[in-house]
């Protein structure tokens, strides 16, 4: 099925259930796994990796993780499997075993900003700096109201000082500074231009404000967007929780019809 087949159609009325019609893109935190108080405290369901491997096989390889985490971090969580991944919101990408982008040395201004964030958040005991090399996230999930406010103000200031080359992306108790050109929407489109993703209808599952740009992109391209959780969204469909996501993926991996239109509306 070629991309041209989607042109001029209402995506909501376009219903196909064969596995070779779809390419599946999955956020990690809050989608495949539950959100944890600290980024390194995530717990991966033991059945998740085998499920993803079976589903990847059923989809002819057209399954990728699209995340704000670095590729290496996802590899650690999902070892020993190695999936196609867009890491750091697309700053780095691995397709068919070949990785591109994401070198910290390409971002000297950002590296200086990271050091500033580390210095100025040092007195804030419950604020965490997650240095990802080519991006940086400031987490205040564990912080009280005053510390959280200071952390958010600081990451806004540092992002503004870096200028238009970088952008600030706010999520659930986190602010991340990353290259302005990096979005999950761009990453999904880049995968969609290459085998085995080309010519397939994209399904993207995500859970956060940071996924809304990708929802809009997937919707515009005739794909299916699925929001995990109950927050307001531009996605078309909804699942209640990462547990519900894992149950759906297990069904699909085990041969159930892949029919995202059957999911509850958002």
Active site residues: 27
Q: Which neighbouring-strand residues pair with 22? A: 201
The residue count of the chain comes to 266
Element (H, E) at 205: strand 201-206
Q: Are strands 63-66 and 22-26 parallel, antiparallel or unpaired?
A: parallel
Number of neighbouring beta carbons within 10 Å of residue 9? 10
Long-range contacts, stretch 106-110, CB < 8 angstroms, 24+ apart: 106/134, 107/134, 107/179, 109/162, 109/163, 109/165, 109/166, 110/134, 110/135, 110/136, 110/162, 110/166, 110/177, 110/179
**Do 230 and 202 touch, CB atoms closer than 8 A?**
no
d(CA 179, CA 135): 7
Contact 44, 33 (CB under 8 A): yes
How is residue 20 written in tokens? Answer: 């070779």
Query: What are the phi and psi torsion angles at 115 (to 5°)?
Result: -65, -40
Cα distance between residue 1 and residue 121, in whole Å: 51
């Amino acid at each position: 099925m070629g991309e041209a087949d989607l042109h001029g159609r209402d995506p909501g009325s376009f219903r196909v259930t064969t596995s070779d019609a779809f390419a599946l893109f999955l956020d990690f935190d809050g989608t495949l796994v539950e959100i944890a108080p600290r980024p390194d405290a995530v717990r991966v369901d033991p059945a998740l990796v085998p499920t993803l491997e079976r589903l990847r096989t059923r989809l002819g390889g057209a399954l990728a993780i699209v995340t704000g985490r670095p590729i290496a971090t996802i590899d650690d969580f999902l070892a020993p499997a190695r999936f196609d991944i867009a890491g750091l919101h697309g700053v780095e990408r691995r397709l068919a075993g070949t990785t591109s982008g994401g070198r910290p040395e390409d971002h000297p201004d950002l590296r200086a900003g990271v050091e500033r964030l580390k210095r100025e958040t040092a007195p804030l005991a419950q604020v965490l700096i997650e240095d990802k090399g080519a991006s940086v996230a400031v987490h205040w999930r564990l912080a009280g109201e005053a510390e959280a406010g200071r952390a958010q103000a600081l990451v806004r200031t540092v992002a503004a000082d870096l200028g238009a080359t970088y952008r600030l992306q706010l999520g659930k108790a986190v602010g991340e500074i990353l290259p302005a050109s990096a979005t999950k929407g761009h990453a999904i489109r880049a995968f969609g231009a290459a085998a085995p993703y080309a010519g397939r209808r994209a399904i993207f599952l995500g859970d956060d404000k940071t996924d809304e740009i990708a929802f809009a992109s997937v919707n515009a391209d005739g794909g299916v967007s699925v929001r995990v959780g109950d927050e307001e969204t531009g996605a078309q469909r909804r699942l209640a929780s990462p547990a519900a996501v894992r149950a759906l993926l297990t069904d699909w991996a085990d041969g159930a019809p892949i029919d995202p239109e059957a999911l509850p509306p958002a």
